[in-house]
Amino acid sequence: MKGLILSGGKGTRMRPITHTAAKQLLPVANKPILFYGIEAIKSAGIKDIGIIISPETGEDVKAVVGDGSRWGIKIEYILQDQPLGLAHAVKTARPFLKDDTFVMYLGDNLIKDGVAPLVKRFNETSVDAFILLKEVNNPSAFGVAHLDGNGRILSLEEKPAHPKSNLALVGVYLFTKNIHKAIDEIKPSRRGELEITDAIQRLITTNYHVGSYVLQSWWLDTGKKDDMLEANRVVLDEMNDVSMLGDLQEGSRISGRVRIGKGSILKNCTVRGPAMIGDDCVLEDSYVGPFTSIGDRAQVTHAEIEHSILRENCQILDFHGRIEDSLIGVNVELTRSNFKPVAFRLMLGDDSKVEVV
C-alpha cells in the first residue's frame, strides 16, 4: 500500500498568511500540519508516500519535508499544475500509484486516531473504496454521504446546497486501483473540478463495494484561522511530554503542562499551560496563557498572549497589551505606542511590521 498526501492548492482562505507559505506548513503546536499526516501514514506501516505539490509552494514543501529519511520512509513529489480537484490529484499521481492500493490524506487535516485503524479495516474487507465520515454542523461545506438504515452508502454529493445528512467526508480515503477507472468516467463539476465524491459515486453506481466508518473522535480541518487555533488548542490540550530545556530566570514561574525549548530565556514571566515555547526564544516581563505556541527565536516583551500561534522569528516588543485568538506569521514585528488596556485579535502575514497607535 502507498500513501498520497495532498499539499497543493492556493490556501486562499488563510491569506495573508498563505501569500508566503503553504498552508500545510503552518504550525500546530510548533510542528507543521503536514508532518502530522506523514506520521499518521507511517504509523499505519506505509513507507512509500507521494506528496502532491503546487507550483506556488512546492519548493517550500520540498525544503521543509525533505526526502522522508527523517521518518525512515521514501517521499516522492508530484506536481499538480492547477488545483482542479481531488480526483484530478489522484489522476496526476497515477504514474506513482500504479495499480497499488493507497490511502489518500488531505495535508491540512488532523485526525486524533490517525489512519492505522482505517487501513486495518480496509485490509480486512473486500472493498474497493473506504471513506471516513464525521457528523458536522455545516455539511454543505463538505462532501456529504447519505446512508441507509444499515449504514450502506446510497449517494455522495460535493458541497450540496441541501444536504441529505450531516455526515461529512473526512480528509482520508482508501482505494484500490478501480478508482482510476471511475475517475476516467466522470466529468468536471460545476466548479470545474474533478470531484473525488463523483468518482466514489461512480464506483457505487457501477456496483463496486464502498465501505465507510463514522469517526467518533475529533477531526480538524485547518483551512481557516480559527480552525488553526482550535487545532493548536486540541493538540496542546493532549500534550503529555512536558520539558524545561531553557533558562527560567528570577521572577519567572510556570504552571501546568509547559514545554520550553533549549536556549530559550524567560525573565520575569509567567507561563500557564498547556503551552509551548520553541528554541532560542527570549521572553521578558510577559504572560503566556493556555493554548499558546510560540515558534523558535521569537522575542516577546511586556505582552500578554493567550490562545494564539506565534511563528518563528516573531517579535512582540514593548506591547503593553493583550493578544488573544491570534495567528502571527514569520518575522513579524509588532510594537505599540498607545498603552490603553485593550485586547487584540490579529492575523498577520509573514514579514509584517505593525505599530499599534
pLDDT surpassing 90 at residue 262: yes
Task: Give the contacts of 138 (CB within 8 A, at least 6 positions apart).
Answer: none
Task: Give whichever of 4-8, 279-283, 318-322 has the largest mean pLDDT.
Answer: 279-283
pLDDT surpassing 70 at residue 339: no
Q: Contact, 33 vs 26, CB < 8 A?
A: yes
Is domain 2-236 in CATH 1.10.357.10, yes or no? no
Closest CA to 252 of 235, 230, 270: 270
Q: Which CATH class is domain 242-356?
A: mainly beta
Closest CA to 23 of 323, 311, 336: 311
* Neighbour tally for 41: CB within 10 Å: 29
pLDDT surpassing 80 at residue 267: yes
Is pLDDT larger for residue 39 or for residue 221? Answer: 39
Closest CA to 201 of 217, 224, 223, 185: 185
β-bridge partners, 75: 49
Q: Contact, 51 vs 60, CB < 8 A?
A: no
* Residue 123 backbone dihedrals phi, psi, to 5 degrees: -70, -25
β-bridge partners, 129: 175, 210
Element (H, E) at 86: helix 86-92
pLDDT tens digits for range 234-251 = 999 988 878 889 999 989
Q: What is the pLDDT of residue 110?
A: 84
C-alpha–C-alpha distance, residues 299 and 283, integer Å: 6
Closest CA to 169 of 201, 205, 122, 192: 201
Q: Per-residue b/e over 230-252, b at no fewer than 16 CB within 10 Å? A: bbbbbbbeebeeeebebebeeeb
Q: What is the pLDDT of residue 34?
A: 93
C-alpha–C-alpha distance, residues 262 and 242, integer Å: 13
Q: What is the pLDDT of residue 278?
A: 96
pLDDT confidence of 17, banded at 50, 70, 90?
low
Q: What is the pLDDT of residue 302?
A: 93
C-alpha–C-alpha distance, residues 125 and 119, integer Å: 10
pLDDT tens digits for range 175-210 = 999 999 999 999 998 888 999 989 999 999 999 988
Please give the span between the terminal C-alpha atoms of the chain, in angstroms, as a whole number. 56
pLDDT tens digits for range 92-110 = 999 999 999 999 999 888 8
Q: Contact, 260 vs 248, CB < 8 A?
A: yes
Q: What is the pLDDT of residue 21?
A: 64
β-bridge partners, 104: 4, 173
Is pLDDT larger for residue 304 or for residue 347? Answer: 304
Domain parsing of the chain, residue ranges: 2-236, 242-356
Q: Contact, 307 vs 288, CB < 8 A?
A: no
β-bridge partners, 174: 103, 130
pLDDT tens digits for range 268-285 = 999 999 999 999 999 999
pLDDT confidence of 20, banded at 50, 70, 90?
low
pLDDT tens digits for range 132-165 = 888 888 888 888 888 877 767 888 888 888 888 8
Q: What is the pLDDT of residue 57?
A: 87
pTM (predicted TM-score):
0.86
Q: What is the pLDDT of residue 342?
A: 67
Sign of the alpha-carbon torsion through 161, 180, 123, 172: negative
C-alpha–C-alpha distance, residues 6 and 90, integer Å: 9
Question: Parallel, antiparallel, or unpaired for β 282-284 and 270-272?
Answer: unpaired
Q: What is the pLDDT of residue 24?
A: 85
Q: What is the pLDDT of residue 10?
A: 54
Q: What is the mean pLDDT of the chain?
A: 88
